[in-house]
Amino acid sequence: MAGENSPYYTPTSKPTSLINNSNPRKKTNLYSLVVIIFLCSVSYLLGVWQRGGGTTTSSTTSNIVATINCLPSKNTTTTSFSAIDFKTHHSFDTNGQESINISEEQFRTYPPCDIKYSEYTPCEHQERSLKFNRDRLIYRERHCPKKNELLKCLIPAPHGYRNPFKWPMSRDVVWYNNVPHKELTVEKAVQNWIRFEGDQFRFPGGGTMFPNGADAYIDDIGKFINLKDGSIRTAIDTGCGVASWGAYLMSRNIVAMSFAPRDTHEAQVQFALERGVPALIGVLASKRLPYPSRSFDMAHCSRCLIPWGQYDGEYLIEVDRVLRPGGYWILSGPPIHWRRHWRGWERTREDLNSEQTQIETITNGLCWKKIIEKDDIAIWQKPINHANCKKFKRVYKTPPFCPSHDHPDKAWFVLNPLTIYLILR
């Protein structure tokens, strides 16, 4: 027979003492249940009070809240969701085309402008620009009209405008009616920039400093800089002309932003845009370029006529700002190899020597390393780290870089710090 200690022992009756006495475990469970109910009630009342339902809160709960310092004495939430519009504003028709739902109050109609405004650029208006200082090409910067001068009409396309050719065909040909200007076909005829054929313009890829074409010119650059390993993806072309350099970089998976000022007779940037090349009307003058610092892997100037050595090197300092550490600056044309070309450039040897000396002094001060000067091309490389560059401070007494309180990424309509210094001086 199994004893009481056996795991198989089952008592047939409970002891008398356990029947008469209440179970203490049940009392403990009852107390816990009461405490939980009380805490839940207090939490609920606190929640109601915080949501503005304080009028229904009992005085006991108010006294409890008053003793808790971390709770606010009143509702401080100011967020309102009444102004958020959750309505659908986009829909698709049966052809899968997206349409935007605009209420009648939002929809406005504007009349077409006169055809004389077909090439109107608001902030590059010639009559307005002539009112500004011609020194340092400030008059060619963006000068936007005042509110009372704004046109409230739709700019018309030139007469006979047609849809542009698709890339890559657009790189080489555009419709004449889309950019109806023949001046460059005469002015740059011997340089192979652009040709007029029938109702089209053709772009052979030539340039002032690359008579064998932009492709061959880029190949020459590729002998000194690796353009194939992906380390160079972005470039900026100052004084781009019709942007053939940027157009031919596309096939090398490099995107170039080309810019040039608006000429007196036309905007060469119009050709670039019509070709499908990223470009804008702009000039290096007194304001920063509209890009944050370290935006480009490579900067380029092919006889862009920018006085790099003047104004204490301000223009090269701006190039230094937008170049990433280790980026490259390429200069072709005057004064590179002036000893061989000075007669064709119709400038004196002394003038060209002085200009190159100024450029070399500034680039040395910026701690740029000159990689090569061969034929018509010179290439410098920006240092990886400027912290160790102390030569500039010894060469110049003017402030070399942006002051510490000035953010280098601020660009739109911001005067260069050195410009401010020169103005005040």
Backbone Cα Rg of the chain: 37
Same domain assignment for residues 143 and 221: no
Same domain assignment for residues 245 and 382: yes
Same domain assignment for residues 267 and 402: yes
* Contact of 297 with 324, CB cutoff 8 Å: yes
Same domain assignment for residues 323 and 254: yes
> 286: closest CA among 124, 136, 126?
136
The total number of structural domains that make up the chain: 2
Is 310 a domain residue? yes
Distance CA 98, CA 91 (A): 6
Widest pairwise Cα distance in the chain: 129
Give the chain's end-to-end CA distance (angstroms, integer).
116
Same domain assignment for residues 123 and 266: no
Same domain assignment for residues 215 and 145: no
Is 232 a domain residue? yes
Across the strands, what pairs with 259?
238, 280
Is 59 a domain residue? no
Last residue of a domain, one of 100, 129, 149: 149
E strands present in 185-239: 195-197, 200-202, 234-238
The helix/strand/coil state of 106 is: coil
The helix/strand/coil state of 372 is: strand
DSSP 22: P
Whichever domain contains 390, its CATH number is 3.40.50.150
Q: What is the extent of the structural domain holding 268?
A: 210-424
Is 157 a domain residue? no
177 CB-contact burial (10 Å; exposed 0-12 / middle 13-18 / buried 19+)? middle
Last residue of a domain, one of 125, 149, 173: 149
Same domain assignment for residues 145 and 214: no
Cα torsion at 14, 19, 24, 30 (round to 10°)?
110
> What is the per-residue pLDDT for 280?
92
Element (H, E) at 297: strand 296-302
pLDDT tens across the length of the chain (425 residues): 444 444 434 444 444 443 344 555 555 667 777 778 878 777 777 776 665 544 444 444 344 333 333 333 344 444 444 556 666 666 666 666 666 665 655 678 899 999 999 988 889 888 888 899 888 889 999 999 999 989 999 999 999 999 999 999 999 999 999 999 888 888 887 788 899 999 999 999 988 888 899 999 999 999 999 999 999 999 999 999 899 999 999 999 999 999 999 876 567 899 999 999 999 999 999 889 999 999 999 999 999 989 999 998 999 999 999 999 999 999 999 999 888 878 778 889 999 999 999 999 999 989 999 999 998 899 999 999 877 776 555 555 444 444 444 677 777 667 765 554 444 44
Backbone φ and ψ for 300, nearest 5 degrees, come out as -140, 140
Is 326 a domain residue? yes
Q: Beta strands 173-175 and 200-202: pairing type? A: antiparallel
Same domain assignment for residues 272 and 419: yes
Is 5 a domain residue? no
Same domain assignment for residues 319 and 410: yes
Is 364 a domain residue? yes
Distance CA 277, CA 269 (A): 9
> What is the per-residue pLDDT for 14?
42
Same domain assignment for residues 247 and 382: yes
Last residue of a domain, one of 149, 169, 197: 149
The helix/strand/coil state of 356 is: helix
Is 351 a domain residue? yes
Same domain assignment for residues 274 and 372: yes
Structure tokens belonging to residue 12: 């047939």
Sequence-distant (6+) residues with CB within 8 A of 272 are: 240, 242, 243, 246, 247, 258, 278, 279
> What is the per-residue pLDDT for 103?
61
Sequence-distant (6+) residues with CB within 8 A of 268 are: 184, 240, 241, 242, 243, 260
Distance CA 194, CA 197 (A): 10
